[in-house]
Amino acid sequence: MRKKCLLFAILAAGALSFFAAGSCIGGSDEESTVQSATQVMSEIMSIPEQSIPPSLLGEAYGIAIFPGLLKAGFILGARYGQGVMVVRSKERGWSNPVFFTITGGSVGWQIGAQSTDAILVFRTMRSLDAITSGKFTLGADASVAAGPVGRHAEAGTDIQLKSEILSYSRNRGLFAGVALEGAAMQVDYKANSAFYSMAGLLPMQIFMSAELQAPWVADDLKRVLARYSTQ
């Protein structure tokens, strides 16, 4: 009995040490998320005939990128993805990223896939004002529609023209517009604090502050977006 107790104590101590070590790696998970978002955007936009039309990116007020959404999270109704969002600066550049989680929604396209990348293009300032309040439901707080694909594609339908947000997904190498009706986006305050090493940051503070210091991966993301959203 004593041996079992001793073994349990050793294992417990090892586990505590492991989690303590993990918690000391400040912002590493968040930096990986930003790097993944940058990679997703680069890969999708590198094939013009299968990408988001640059004209739409050039007119966008904001872009959210969710790399590697997990199918299991959708089936269980739990949080299934983390991503970042950036908005236009006054100088027409891109802001530092704000972290969001995305949950649920009518995403039947995800069934059978291990992971899916999703991109949301925000076309109005009203939709941005709503999303920075904390929690935001696509289709309820702002209209959303599957976005057109291809360099020469235009938002040709009335639904697309009227929609405040255009949504896209990439699954097993296939990229297409997809409806994300009912998906809920929520500000990930913990991730924002870890990434910027500062507690209590609000989304608008991150979006609007030119003095806020961000890890180098944020600059990489902004450079990629600038490259493909220049009209």
226, 94 Cβ separation under 8 angstroms: yes
203 CA to centre of own chain? 14
Could you tell me the residue ranges of all domains in the chain?
A: 26-228
Model-wide pTM > 0.95: no
Arithmetic mean of pLDDT over the chain: 77
| Residue 64, beta-bridge partner list | 85, 120
Instruction: Give pLDDT tens digits for 142-160.
Output: 888 888 888 666 544 444 5
- When computed from its CA atoms, the radius of gyration of the chain, rounded to whole angstroms, is 19
- Mind giving me the DSSP string for 77-115? TSEEEEEEEEEB-TTSSBPPPEEEEEE--S-GGGTT-SE
Query: Please, how many CA atoms are within 13 Å of residue 54, restricted to the half-sphere of its CB?
Result: 16
Give 12-40 pLDDT, tens digit per residue.
333 333 333 333 334 589 999 999 999 99
